[in-house]
């Protein structure tokens, strides 16, 4: 009766501790987005401390099962539980190999040492040692696989970015813009939202090349592209270099008045922010043609109106926004 009472109390304490630490880890996982940015130190401590606390609880449980006769019948079950947890940890914790090795040691070594001094469980000594070595090797292999996969993903993303961006200005290129425009056009057709296509052209660009050289022309393009990109800041805005000194932007979900106001703000900002080249302050201005996509439009007709509006802006004296 006394042994049963002790066993029940032990089970209650162990279950409560394990449930409490598990609850903390669950809360930590759900709060990661908030904690990572605002309390990174605390987030990191909880991330590494809780697995070690749970590992220590399981390790103590295994030691008690092996060394105390009333619990010895459950020792193999607990060892299997520990083995299963280590198996999952060797994969999930593999990005941190040193921590994983410590975690595995915390789970296995106390039970191994206790088995060494408990005649009934001498057979667990070589078994525990083999498990330790196996999972140590597995952790190393999983870590190498993780590094390889991570490096491959970075390489693919880098290549994808190179295919999407203009090498000079580092904004989207024309090929990628055409893909995104198709997506925006289909979305507009389904949701009946408004879509505006804008052609932007740097005024007197040839004179910059003639007066200061082609490197100054490149600097002007990069300067303008940076201003365009910062102005087209919504996730649905798309900004790209279309060719030469010509750029294109797509705005979705905003009306004509708002589009024209935004573009006049951009035009004035470009004119008020010259760039520096070899101690020379070089001013640039901008002409813009706007096309608000209409019900019966296709991509070609919408582009043609924007291009015609840009031509009119150039003809009317440049540094202006014309709606087509």
Catalytic residues: 245
Give Cα 198 to chain centroid, integer Å: 30
Q: Is 192 left (phi over 0), alpha (psi -120 to 50) or beta?
A: left
| CA torsion, ordered 308, 309, 315, 321, to nearest 10 deg | -160
User: CA–CA separation, 169 vs 117, rounded Å?
Assistant: 71
CA angle 251/254/257 to nearest 5° reads 110
Which residues lie closer than 8 Å to 53 by C-beta, 6 or more apart? Answer: 21
Which residues lie closer than 8 Å to 4 by C-beta, 6 or more apart? Answer: none
Looking only at the bridges linking them, the beta strands covering 195-202 and 280-282 are: unpaired
User: CA–CA separation, 166 vs 221, rounded Å?
Assistant: 11
Q: Quickly tell me which residue has 């705005």 as its tokens.
A: 251
User: CB of 65 within 8 A of CB of 55?
Assistant: no
């Amino acid at each position: 009766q006394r042994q049963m009472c002790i066993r029940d109390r032990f089970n209650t304490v162990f279950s409560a501790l394990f449930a409490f630490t598990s609850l903390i880890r669950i809360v930590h996982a759900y709060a990661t987005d908030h904690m990572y940015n605002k309390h990174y130190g605390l987030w990191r401590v909880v991330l590494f401390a809780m697995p070690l606390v749970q590992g220590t609880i399981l390790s103590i449980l295994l030691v008690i099962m092996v060394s105390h006769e009333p619990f010895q019948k459950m020792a193999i079950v607990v060892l299997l539980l520990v083995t299963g947890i280590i198996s999952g940890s060797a994969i999930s914790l593999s990005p941190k190999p040193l921590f994983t090795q410590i975690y595995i040691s915390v789970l296995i070594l106390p039970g191994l040492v206790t088995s060494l001094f408990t005649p009934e469980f001498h057979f667990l000594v070589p078994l525990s040692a083999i498990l330790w070595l196996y999972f140590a090797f597995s952790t190393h292999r999983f870590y190498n696989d993780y590094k390889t996969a991570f490096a491959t993903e970075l390489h693919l993303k880098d290549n994808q970015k190179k295919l999407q961006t203009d090498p000079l200005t580092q904004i989207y290129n024309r090929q990628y813009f055409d893909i995104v425009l198709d997506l925006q056009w289909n979305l507009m057709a389904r949701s009946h939202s408004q879509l505006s296509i804008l052609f932007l052209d740097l005024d007197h660009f040839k004179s910059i090349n003639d007066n200061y050289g082609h490197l100054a022309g490149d600097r002007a393009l990069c300067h303008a592209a940076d201003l365009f990109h910062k102005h087209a800041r919504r996730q649905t805005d798309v900004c790209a270099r279309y060719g030469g000194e010509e750029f294109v932007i797509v705005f979705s979900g905003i009306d004509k008045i708002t589009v024209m106001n935004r573009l006049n703000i951009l035009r004035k900002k470009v004119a008020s922010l010259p760039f520096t080249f070899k101690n020379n302050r070089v001013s640039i201005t901008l002409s813009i043609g706007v096309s608000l996509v209409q019900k019966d439009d296709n991509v070609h007709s919408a582009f043609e109106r924007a291009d015609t509006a840009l031509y009119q802006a150039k003809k009317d004296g440049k540094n202006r926004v014309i709606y087509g």
